[in-house]
């Protein structure tokens, strides 16, 4: 479900306002879903990615749609700016250099495969986002990660590593799900 440009711009404004509110107050921005159209209040999962000079500066999101899209975007923008454990909290001086990208996820679908090669053969580079799960260990890569890891073997190896598994890990109990995203920048 793609959003019209006006709604895309609204979500980018919400993300920027949530970060600005966080810089000012140190807290997430309160939001009333009653102030937004139905398309923006549907339960949808999103990721907010922050970049500074084309370098990752924060990325946080949800894999399951458990809250209204506007709320999800606001919460994820705040978390990407201030709670991503890979980066220090955003400083006000960085705000003008920040590029914000929102990825709205489709519901994840299980991939049925017989082997690692079968899984690799089913992947759609630059289209699929993947969730890899083994027991309590889980990792995801958005479709945009294909830009830096364009080969399916490489993409899957690094996703295993992100999930806390060895690069060459394989098990019959491994679960993999695919999703697509609508990207807003």
Is the Cβ–Cβ distance between 74 and 31 less than 8 Å? yes
Structure confidence at residue 1 (pLDDT): 62
Q: Length of the chain, please?
A: 185
Structure confidence at residue 152 (pLDDT): 97
Mean pLDDT of the chain: 96
pTM of the entire predicted model: 0.91
Going along the chain from its start, the domains and CATH numbers come out as: 5-105 (3.30.700.20), 109-180 (3.30.1490.150)
Q: Where are the alpha helices (DSSP H) in 29-149?
A: 38-41, 69-82, 116-122
Low-confidence ranges of the chain (pLDDT < 70): 1
Structure confidence at residue 2 (pLDDT): 80
């Amino acid at each position: 479900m793609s959003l019209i440009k006006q709604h895309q711009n609204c979500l980018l404004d919400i993300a920027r306002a949530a970060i600005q509110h966080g810089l000012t107050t140190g807290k997430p921005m309160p939001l009333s879903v009653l102030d937004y159209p139905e398309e923006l209040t549907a339960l949808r999962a999103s990721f907010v990615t922050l970049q500074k000079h084309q370098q990752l500066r924060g990325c946080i999101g949800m894999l399951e749609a458990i809250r209204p899209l506007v709320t999800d975007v606001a919460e994820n923008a705040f978390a990407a700016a201030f709670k991503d454990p890979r980066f220090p909290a955003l400083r006000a001086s960085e705000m003008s250099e920040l590029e914000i990208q929102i990825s709205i996820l489709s519901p994840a679908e299980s991939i049925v495969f017989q082997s690692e090669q079968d899984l690799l053969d089913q992947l759609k580079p630059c289209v699929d986002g993947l969730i890899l799960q083994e027991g309590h260990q889980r990792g995801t890569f958005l479709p945009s990660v294909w830009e830096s890891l364009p080969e399916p073997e490489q993409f899957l190896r690094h996703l295993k590593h992100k999930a806390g598994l060895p690069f060459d890990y394989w098990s019959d109990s491994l679960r993999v799900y695919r999703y697509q995203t609508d990207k807003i920048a």
